Amino acid sequence: MTTSANDRRVVQIPVEPGLVCLRGLSPKRLRFEVEYGLERGTTANSFLFLAAGEDPALLVHPPGNTFAEPYLAALAERVPPSSRLQVVVGHTNPNRVQLLRQLAQRWPQLELISSNPGAQLLRELWDQRKLTPPGAEATSEAEALPPLPPLQVVRGELQLERADGHSLQLLSTPTPRWPGGLMAFEESSGLLMSGKFFAAHLCTGDWAESNRSSTEEDRRYFYDCLMAPMVRQVEAVLDRIDELPIRTIAPGHGPAIAESWRSLLVDYRRWGATQERAKLSVALLYASAYGNTAAIADGLAQGVARTGVRVESINCEFTPPDKLLEAIRSCDAVLIGSPTLGGHAPTPIVSALGTLLAEGDRAKPVGVFGSFGWSGEALDLLESKLRDGGFRFAFEPIKVKFSPDAATLKTIEETGTALGRSLLSEQRKEQRRSGGGGGLSESRSNPAVLALGRVVGSLCVLTTVKGSGEAQLSGAMVASWVSQASFTPPGLTVAVAKDRAVEALLHVGDGFALNVLASGRETGPMKQFLQPFAPGADRFAGLELEHSPAGQPVLPEALAWLECSVKQRMECGDHWLLYAEVKAGAVLDAAATTAVHQRRSGANY
């Protein structure tokens, strides 16, 4: 085990003779990107096939520069710097290129293997120095970068036969988010080293998950954040690996899946089917130099998808013009994002903008987003051209300096949710105008729906805070679908609509307070928390709050409050059903009675 001063460490896990997993462990989230939102830390998995005969050591999926210090020390224990080292680069971004440069300096006989798009990215990024903000100390030009090592390109597939009997099949698996994606399958062990696919951000030193339920929420969250916006490309990758004789899947993040990998593949297809059935779609066009604009795109996609609207993610640097045109013509809204490089937008974004101006429907909403260092000319260009072109903006342009922090990312997600809701609202209006609609949940005169409305629930306000300091996030909602669920331990269930902003703060392990409202005094809290909030708005602004023992917000005018911890989540159609244990609570007004929500129909709240 190798440890660094920043709590990140690397463990060496023997997988089988001649194969070691070098796993970077970080107990804290590495970044504020949406996929780290559960805040359970992360792992970075790479796989080292030791030198055998004339074959060099082979390293599959090296991590990013975040783990550089402990990782390079661990690798040097297994591979002397004088030895040959082949590296399969399954994911290419600036952070990984920084580590690859250090590998090239310490292992002069380094050889790289990547997919064709990955090779293109490596050539573009290798000699780029990270932009230095004004006032910061610039990197010395005397610190010469090593030359790009010899590069072997995988076009589709490549077979590597090794002297120790290991046979590796390298599969190019491009997606908009990871155009240089590459998987490695070792045939004798049935081990699929899947990179970003099937991953989960949680910190564990165990080689494999203990059972399916132990990581199910984490893997679903990772899917919703990053896979759902590119479901068609994900399906294509699933089709490619269907015929492989897999026995274990080892992703780039999280524990391996040894027992339930078949179920996980089925889950991936099932989760994707929900997206494919969506009648509305948003085209998300972007390019990203350092990953910051992509992080904004992920946040917007997460927010839109939460409403049941499909997101079609398009990486403009690697998408053919006909696919871009098809997405623009078939979608119901277009969002376009760009970094600013040298005072300009990247050429693929300028081309995409031209296609949008020429072929885009002015009746459909658009949005502009992106990151910048110390200037944002690319975003100004996108905004001015689209406004001059007569397009209707769904929201004010999102302009983020460098990378989004936690609060900004939450605002971005809520912006996407607001867009999805507005598209659904327009769809419902159009259906009413055309006499469409129908179905049990939509027909308010249906006897079953009317009967469902007679199921009564108490009126409550759910409040929650998560994190601390500048990274603290908060949320609240009116809840009436609440019921006691257990005596020992004391527990309750509460249903939360998928498009609620607060839903992102209510995963397993998160806490909240349930404020039970008093009959006759429910009007004030209802008015406060039923009003429409702008994305990123503070739900508690102007309120005098008390707090539970764990620091959850308590409304002083409530009849009673309960401090709860989420233990389980179950997907139920357009809602999540949460089971939570009650940790503390108090009755504030013993003489009052609970406010109850009476409904005429089960078709709405």
> What is the predicted pLDDT for the residue at 131?
42
Do 89 and 114 reside in the same domain of the chain?
yes
Q: Give the chain's domain count.
A: 3
Question: Would you say residue 79 lies in a domain?
Answer: yes
Sites in the chain below the pLDDT cut of 70: 1-6, 130-143, 435-444
Do 60 and 86 reside in the same domain of the chain?
yes
126: Cβ–Cβ under 8 A, 6 or more apart, which residues? 97, 101, 145, 148
Final residue of a structural domain among 215, 247, 273: 273
Tokens representing 37? 């939102």
Final residue of a structural domain among 212, 238, 273: 273
**Average per-residue pLDDT in the chain?**
92
- According to DSSP, the residues that pair with 282 across neighbouring strands are 311, 333
Q: Which residue has the tokens 């409403």?
A: 307
Final residue of a structural domain among 229, 244, 273: 273
Do 395 and 498 reside in the same domain of the chain?
no
Residues 534-586: tens digit of each pLDDT: 999 999 999 999 999 999 999 999 999 999 999 999 999 999 999 999 999 99
Question: Would you say residue 429 lies in a domain?
Answer: no
Q: Which residue has the tokens 């909030």?
A: 533
Do 103 and 164 reside in the same domain of the chain?
yes
Do 288 and 386 reside in the same domain of the chain?
yes
Question: Would you say residue 441 lies in a domain?
Answer: no
Residues 222-263: tens digit of each pLDDT: 999 999 999 999 999 999 999 899 999 999 999 999 999 999
pTM of the shown model = 0.91
Do 93 and 230 reside in the same domain of the chain?
yes
Q: Which residue range forms the structural domain that includes residue 32?
A: 2-128+146-273
Phi, psi of 390 (to 5 degrees): 85, 20
Residues 415-463: tens digit of each pLDDT: 999 999 999 999 988 887 876 654 444 566 788 988 999 999 999 999 9
> What is the predicted pLDDT for the residue at 134?
37
Confirm if 180 and 92 have CB atoms less than 8 A apart.
yes
> What is the predicted pLDDT for the residue at 197?
98
CA dihedral 561, 563, 564, 565 (to 10 degrees): 160
> What is the predicted pLDDT for the residue at 140?
42
Q: What number of CA atoms fall less than 13 Å from residue 233's CA on the CB side?
A: 23
Measured CA angle at 386 (ends 384, 392), to 5 deg: 120
